[in-house]
Amino acid sequence: MQRKIITICLILVALIFAQCSQKDKKDEQKPQSKIERLVANYADVKLETDLNVLSENQKKMLPHLFEAAKLIDELYWAQACLQSSELKESITDEFVKKYFEINYGPWDRLSGMEPFVEGVPKRFDGANFYPENMSFQEFDGFSDLEKYSSYTLVRRNELGSLITIPYHEAYKEKLVKIADFMKKAAELAEDKDFKKYLEFRAEALLTDKFYDSDIAWMEMKDNLVDFIVGPIEDTEDRLYYTKASYQSMILIKDKKFSKDLEKYSLLLPFLQKSLPVDDKYKTEIPGDLSDIMVYDVINCSGYWNTGSKKIAITLPIDGQVQLKVGSRKLQFKNVMEAKFDKILMPISELLIDENQLKHVKSKAFFENTMFYEIGSALGMKNTVNGKGTIRDALKEQYNVIAECKNDILSLFFVTKLYEMGEMSEGDLMDNYVTYMADVFRSVRFGISNDQGVANMIRFYYFEEMGAFTRDKSGKYKIDFDKMKEAMLMLSKEILVIQGEGNYEAAKKLVDDKGFIRDELLQDLYSIQKARIPKDVVFIQGLEEASKSN
């Protein structure tokens, strides 16, 4: 009996010890400080693909493109964060340093650009594109029209007066090196159209004239390797939303996936004509070269490597190029898969009704994202009433309203194609429930992110229309018919605001619905408490790019 008691005691001690050890291990794994928790908002994702599909020459291109991408990264640092090297050297905490690198500076891109490095002031909205001591009145009185160019810096001369400096002059030393690497890659190009594009784009970087290289890029159809590079997006400039930032991506095309999507490219003119508005709001038909391509990303630098990472994009951004030849919708398969697995699915398990959770599908996520990019290319670029471009008419509200349009039209297009029988694999309900789940993923980017604000608007519009219900446990359930009705109404409202260039209506929509209310805030807290990452950070490099077989 005594031996039995001793044995039982030993077992209990062992169990308690094991539980304590597991608890200690869990506690060690949990972020212990605020900065560790901020770093934990990003899940590590290795950028890789099967490089065996490439020829020997294509493989030899990659080192040149990777070197060019490194220099692009340095250019972006110069634009985003003045004195970045000195600041980085002053940081001793490894987590602060990592977060500094993720954000390309001491301001948190997932939290309203709030500083996270001690002693650093609030970020200047003009980044390093304008003098910090420049007033709005001074800029308005500055007579040089180049001040509005996407490719000039505004600086002061020795007398303190404002001047403009073209990018190709300000960054000449690095741009010459980048162009040289691209020309070396072009010499190895077996695809004549890719060779032409690399040569044209290299020249464009040295002149800030990108139109011809954009056309050349759209003419490429058969290249396996792609290198998107240049000053492209203007959202780093939060002062006038004018100056473009440097960024690049090295991509490997998924030929089979891209081939499967060709039929949707052919339907773009039809989708434009089918928009749920009067004919005057859909007169701009996409160009003949418009297409949809699927890629794996193996390198991302500059602006595209900051904060929230792209899962898809529509290029070229130049509206005149889009009107002439169309646009390309690029889907980043490996990044999309990572975000679905690491972020969207865990959020869905937390917030979506158990009976509808089966409808959250990676296929639906891919389709919704694809048609988001199609939404960005369709609609109108110019107002119908002589107010000029929609971008100029809507001013600082343009980006949020454009994101609203892209988001809501993705669901419109998916619905339309299912009804036509062009999409038949799967269930339309998958797209609706996955669409709703994705609202929670992107609304977490907050009010400092245009897509985050757009998703808040969409969320509250749907809520007012009864498109979903939330039970006492915090689970959301979709009402398909009401969600479809809300989608059609919001699509029409946004397209009319854009077509009319109605700045007042755009501002009212953002002011009324572009913020987080208490109930949604509670749901976001529950997501944060569950330690679900907000986004991903890339582990990348030439050695990392090759997927292990």
Q: In the prediction, which pLDDT does 447 show?
A: 66
User: Where along the chain do its domains lie?
Assistant: 66-169, 344-516
How far is it, in rounded angstroms, from Cα 13 to Cα 171?
A: 67
> Which of 106-120, 224-238, 256-270, 418-432: highest mean pLDDT?
224-238
32-48: average pLDDT: 93
Pairing of strands 107-108, 114-115: antiparallel
How far is it, in rounded angstroms, from Cα 209 to Cα 203?
A: 8
> Which of 30-39, 238-247, 515-524: highest mean pLDDT?
238-247
Torsion angles phi and psi, residue 266, rounded to 5: -70, -20
Q: Are 99 and 38 in contact (CB under 8 A)?
A: yes
Per-position DSSP letters for 100-131, written without gaps between them: HHHHTSSEETTTTTEE-STT--PPPTTTTTS-
Interval 210-222: pLDDT, tens: 999 999 999 999 9
pLDDT score of 9 more than 50: no
pLDDT score of 11 more than 50: no
pLDDT score of 319 more than 90: no
Going from the C-alpha of 120 to that of each of 235, 273, 301, 379, 412, the distances in angstroms are 22, 51, 25, 42, 45
Q: In the prediction, which pLDDT does 290 show?
A: 85
Interval 157-189: pLDDT, tens: 999 999 999 999 999 999 999 999 999 999 999
Interval 466-502: pLDDT, tens: 999 999 999 999 999 999 999 999 999 999 999 999 9
Percent of the chain predicted with pLDDT > 70? 93
pLDDT score of 28 more than 90: no
